[in-house]
Structure 1
Amino acid sequence: MGKLYGPVMQMGFVVDNFEEPIKHWTEKLNVGPFFILEHLDLKYFHYKGNKSVIDFSVALSFSGNTQIELIKQHCDTPSIYNEYSNIKKGSLHHICRLTPNINNDIEMLESQGYQNVQAGETSDGGIKFAYLDIHENYGSILELAELAEENLAVTEAIKNASKNWDRKNSTIGIEEILT
């Protein structure tokens, strides 16, 4: 079977707040700066086949070519972030791989026994994501993400900002790198 998707490009962690984990990543691990995207706007979200509405934010940075994603859920909506598995908050939650055709890759993985546990799409259609599990949890969940060109450009801008980080600020507004 051919390769379905790209290399692992992200490690995702579910956190209760951003302050402490960002302090740890920036001060102890020299990873930064982080870009906080508050209350992501989704036009579609499902968890275990049930459509619903979720409120969450992410903080993003890079360590080399690997994106570090911190996820904070603001509501009690059932999701992979607040009730899936026995993954401890702050531990590795998922790895993410980019794909140019998320629907095709989901279908192929489902044929291999994976279950599409959670999926969504941003309101602007720029990001589609799905979390898949095979119930043989060998350490983390697999996320697939399909990004539109403008979102790939934002990801690259965050990566470049991380490469050139002067350690003066642990967080920077996303608008500062998009101008």
Structure 2
Amino acid sequence: MTRDGLIATLGPIRQIAWLTEDLDAATGRWRTFAGIGPWTVYRNVTLEGRYRGRSARVTIDVALSYQDGTQIEIIRPHGRGPSPYHDEGGRVRVGMHHVAWLVQNVAAAKETATKGGLDLLFEAEAGGGATRVAYLQAPDDPAMLLELIAATPATLEGFHTGAEASRYWDGVSAGQELDLSG
């Protein structure tokens, strides 16, 4: 089997994400036990797109920090689904959720991934297109979830400034919080 069509050909993994029901407690644990911070927290992020082929609007709170350039993302979804963040019963899928790649062209990367055998689960955007993502999963293993993140200027700047902040973090300050609800 050649690697053509496999998602790993798109570059290095740039993000590892977890789901939680308590974002503040989760970031506190990461600061205390992993020494990772500071955290930039975005409250009330609305993702508009399609989940399993149907229109979807999902609201989440997101915390971002970095370790050696890899983004650590913690997500607290609102509501009970349907979304890639909830199980069939509407409960949050607490724990490790996905790994992600930054890509120049989400549509082309999606095509590469689906040709490689992955199924499209969710695609959405936020901030008027400033953020665009697609989640893909292995057909026989719904726990294998992979994300494609559009390498927009805003996203690249966020990765750069976040990684720099973590490099010079004092080990004490929690970080900053932004509410996008209004």
Instruction: Indicate whether the TM-score tops 0.5.
Output: yes
Query: Could you say which residue in structure 2 is the equivalent of 1:177?
Result: none
TM-score by length of 2: 0.85
CA contact (8 A) 1:58 1:71 kept: yes
CA distance in 1, matches of 2:22, 2:34: 18
How far apart, in 1, do the equivalents of 2:127 and 2:28 lie?
Answer: 31
Cα distance between partner residues in 2 of 1:35 and 1:156: 13
Corresponding position: 1:98 with 2:102: yes
Matched, 1:108 2:103: no
Asked if residue 24 in structure 1 is aligned to residue 29 in structure 2, the reply is yes
Give, in angstroms, the shift of residue 46 of structure 1: 1.3
Whole-angstrom distance in 2 between the partners of 1:79 and 1:88 = 10
CA distance in 2, matches of 1:151, 1:107: 21
Aligned to 2:133: 129
SS, match of residue 75 in structure 1? coil
Alpha carbons 1:92, 1:140 under 8 Å: kept: no
- 2:161 aligned with 1:157: yes
Preserved CA contact (<8 Å) 2:51 2:83: yes
CA distance in 1 between counterparts of 2:142 and 2:53 reads 23
Contact 1:87 1:93 in 2 (8 A): no
Percent of aligned positions that are identical: 25
1:72 lines up with 2:81 in the alignment: no
- 8 Å contact kept, 2:77–2:92: no
TM-score by length of structure 1 reads: 0.87
1:11 pairs with 2:16: yes
Structure 1, unmatched stretches of 5+, are 175-179
> How many Å apart are 1:67 and its aligned residue?
0.6
Residue 88 of structure 1, CA deviation:
5.0
State yes or no: 1:46 paired with 2:50: yes
d(CA) in 1 for partners of 2:117, 2:71: 27
Tell me, in whole angstroms, the C-alpha distance in 1 between the residues paired with 2:154 and 2:25: 30
Structure 2: 5+ residue runs without aligned partners?
A: none
CA RMSD of aligned residues (A): 2.3
* 1:101-137 C-alpha deviation (Å, 9 max, x unpaired): 1101111211222111011011321111011011343
User: Matches of 1:150 and 1:99 in 2, distance apart?
Assistant: 13
Distance 1:16 1:23 in 2: 13
In 1, Cα distance between equivalents of 2:151 and 2:125: 10
After TM superposition, the structure 1 stretch with the greater mean CA deviation from structure 2, 131-140 or 54-63, is 131-140
The number of residues matched between the two structures is 172
* Contact 2:43 2:177 (8 Å CA) reproduced: no
